[in-house]
Amino acid sequence: MAIDGPTIAEVLRQQGISRRGFLKFCATTASLMALPPSMVPAIAAALENARRPSVIWLSFQECTGCTESLTRSHSPSIEALILEQISLDYHHTLQAASGTAAEAARKAAMQENAGKYLLVVDGSIPLGNAGFSTIAGISNLDMLKETAAGAAAVIAVGTCAAYGGIPAAQPNPTGAVPVSAIIKDKPVLNVPGCPPIPVVITGVLAHFLTFGSLPELDALGRPKTFYGETIHDRCYRRPFYDQGKFAETFDDEGARKGWCLFKLGCKGPVTYNACATTKWNQGVSFPIQSGHGCIGCSEPGFWDAGPFYKALSMPIGPAKAAVGAAVVAGLAAGSAVALRNRSAKKSAQAAHQKVTVADLEKSK
Amino acid sequence: MSALELLTWARGTGLSLALVIFVFGILLRLFEIFSLGRKADLSRARDTSPGSGWRTIVRRSLPPPGLFKRSPVTYIGGYVFHIGFAITLLFFVPHIELVRGLTGLSWPGLPMQVVDIAAVAAILALFVVLASRLTNPVKRFLSGAQDYFAWLLTLLPLLTGYLAFHHVIVDYTLMLALHILSVELLLVALPFTKLFHTVSVFVSRWYNGDIFGRKGVAS
Ligand code: SF4
């Protein structure tokens, strides 16, 4: 998958990243990917000598939030640099070329690196009507199929590409589907999140460069190392959950004391992601740390999984109205049964025939 | 269907359906029981014993003299199960949130560890009373399929809740969905099985106490 040009080590050096900083990145990556420390030199060697892999990035029905998340950091991290430097022969938002030249760049990258390039996709693909989302007059579906055909692997970045996301939320007006619903003959790796954590992308890239393969995936196509545990498993507010100390509103005593956000609708217990450990903005914080419950954005169908601000154990259906109707129906049916019982009793009484000893004697 | 979708169904449509059947069934059974009525008792009351019904409610919860020694398993097992179950049901904060979501009522919960112990005690007690039911010839003779079914329906919510809380066997999302579904099964079956005693126990005890009071054997 390598093409001519500077190696990653050269690129990093040009950017002023020291070897020490680079090795630290390799060590962090190894630990994040749950690899033994003995793998660090192998990762470093592989990364140093790897030529820029060609990456084609396609954006379909999306909000560009994933790209923003991955590229906008105030002080560019090694992750961001690796991402920017090794990638992107084609990316709508980031490339300089536009129009015909942009499409020509995509075709050229596909031809030069046939079978070797990585395809990154963000956004879902509309199946309802080809015209719902097009790029250079090409439908998302056609462009995905065409570009995936020569790719070594496909990485679906963000919940939309991984599971359909918001475009696929009910009633899914465009018939949006995830990448995995279309690409069946290539390895598809999901990096869900709205947006996903940048270091997961670079971790996956580092793994691909080091071992030439994708990391181990779970049943939902996510790298196990990053999505193996729930937010709740790793949440620093967990002791408060266990002690039964909860914030009741966003500005009460409990909220100020940093108590658990379960009652405010936190979906941490059912959300598999690494936010609580890797955190965001170079490890500064993550939503729960800033006082807002997890909304479960990396789970399939999170958008339709009930209100964000209702506790996980609260009913989300028309339970109240249904119970009201049940009371009415129960009272009506109960009265009917009562009436029937009464009339059965009355008719039994009326039909009751007394038998005397004389009668019995007679029948002998 | 993903685990989260199953959970969403269980919290939404599933819960609504179960509650409808539960409430409908309870009302129907109560009407049935109360509308049966009793024949007017034409004899004079043997004893004026005000409060016999109320006292029976309490006394039937206590072992009569000598019985505790003869069947300790029944009493201890019964107590441990019912108290453990009540603590788990009423003082686990997510359960209180559910009630608050439905009715607006809420009360303080207990720390998770306390509820955890209560749940384990209730589960163990259920197995102990089952063993006693199977080994004691009288109890076994008196037990029918419905009794074992009711036992299973009661065990499942406790067991799935415990497993979900401790994240074992399957992932939390799926186990939570199974937990809620098992509760829904219990809700649906409750009005139509012996589990209806949850609603009727004190009514029938009061009635027994009162009628026996009239007959001269007041509590
Ligand atoms: S804030 Fe959310 S993730 Fe953290 S302990 Fe509470 S419920 Fe779990």
| Residue in B7, B13, B20 nearest the CB of A326 | B20
For chain A, 364 residues long, give each residue's pLDDT as a single digit of tens. 444 566 777 777 777 777 787 787 778 777 767 777 887 888 787 777 766 677 888 999 999 888 887 765 444 455 555 555 555 666 766 666 777 777 887 888 888 888 888 898 999 999 998 899 998 889 999 999 999 999 989 999 999 999 999 999 999 999 999 999 999 999 999 999 999 988 787 778 777 777 777 888 988 999 988 898 899 999 999 999 988 899 999 999 999 999 999 999 999 999 999 999 888 877 889 999 999 999 999 999 899 888 999 998 888 877 788 888 888 998 999 889 888 888 888 888 888 888 888 888 876 6
* Ligand 1 pocket test target in A229, A261, A299 with most atoms within 8 Å of CB: A261
Fold classified for A8-226: Rossmann fold (3.40.50)
Q: What is the pLDDT of residue A276?
A: 92
Residue type, B121: A
Residues 6+ apart with CB under 8 A from A302: A159, A194, A267, A271, A295, A296, B4
Report phi then psi at A85, rounded to 5: -80, -40
Q: With CB atoms and an 8 Å threshold, state whether A313 touches B98.
A: yes
Do A26 and A32 form a contact (C-beta atoms < 8 A)?
no
**Closest ligand 1 atom number to CA of residue A261:** 1
From the number of C-beta atoms within 10 Å of its C-beta (0-12, 13-18, 19+), residue A203 rates as buried
Q: What is the pLDDT of residue A321?
A: 83
Of the candidate CATH numbers 1.20.950.20, 3.40.605.10, 3.20.10.10, 1.20.900.10, the domain formed by B3-24+66-210 belongs to 1.20.950.20
Cα B118 to Cα B84: distance, rounded to the nearest angstrom: 4
* Residue stretches of chain B with pLDDT short of 50: none
Cα A90 to Cα A122: distance, rounded to the nearest angstrom: 13
> What are the distances in angstroms from CA B57 to CA A72, A324, B67, B205, B209?
69, 31, 18, 5, 8
Closest CA to A191 of A90, A271, A122: A122
Residue of B nearest to A312 (CA): B94
> What are the distances in angstroms from CA B147 to CA A73, B151, B159, B195?
63, 6, 18, 9
Report phi then psi at B91, rounded to 5: -120, 10
d(CA A239, ligand 1 centre) in Å:
9
Q: What is the pLDDT of residue A210?
A: 73
**Closest ligand 1 atom number to CA of residue A267:** 2
d(CA A259, ligand 1 centre) in Å:
9
Q: What is the pLDDT of residue A124?
A: 96
Give CATH 4.10.480.10 domain extents, chain A: 231-344
Q: What is the pLDDT of residue A39?
A: 78
Q: With CB atoms and an 8 Å threshold, state whether A341 touches B95.
A: no
**A164 Cβ under 8 Å from any chain B Cβ:** no
Q: How many CA atoms lie within 13 A of B55 on its CB side?
A: 11
Q: With CB atoms and an 8 Å threshold, state whether B28 touches A333.
A: yes
Three-class SS string for chain B? Answer: CCHHHHHHHHHHHHHHHHHHHHHHHHHHHHHHHHHHCCCCCCCCCCCCCCCHHHHHHHHCCCCCCCHHHHCHHHHHHHHHHHHHHHHHHHHCHHHHHHHHHHHCCCCCCCCHHHHHHHHHHHHHHHHHHHHHHHHCHHHHHHCCHHHHHHHHHHHHHHHHHHHHHCCCCCCHHHHHHHHHHHHHHHHHHHHHCHHHHHHHHHHHHHHHHHHHHHCCCCC
> What are the distances in angstroms from CA A280 to CA A34, A71, A231, A286?
19, 13, 14, 6
The ipTM assigned to this model is 0.78
Q: What is the pLDDT of residue B209?
A: 87
Token pair 């959970």 is at which residue? B7
Cα A317 to Cα B16: distance, rounded to the nearest angstrom: 6
Cα A245 to Cα A187: distance, rounded to the nearest angstrom: 44
**Closest ligand 1 atom number to CA of residue A246:** 6
From the number of C-beta atoms within 10 Å of its C-beta (0-12, 13-18, 19+), residue B78 rates as middle
Residues 6+ apart with CB under 8 A from A328: none
Q: What is the pLDDT of residue A296?
A: 95
Do B31 and A335 form a contact (C-beta atoms < 8 A)?
yes
Cα A363 to Cα A141: distance, rounded to the nearest angstrom: 92
Token readout for B8 is 């969403």
Of the candidate CATH numbers 3.40.50.880, 1.20.1630.10, 4.10.480.10, 3.40.50.261, the domain formed by A231-344 belongs to 4.10.480.10
CB atoms within 10 A of CB A282: 14
Kind and range of the H or E run holding A134: strand A134-135
Cα diameter, chain A: 123
Token readout for A207 is 């793994």
d(CA A294, ligand 1 centre) in Å:
8
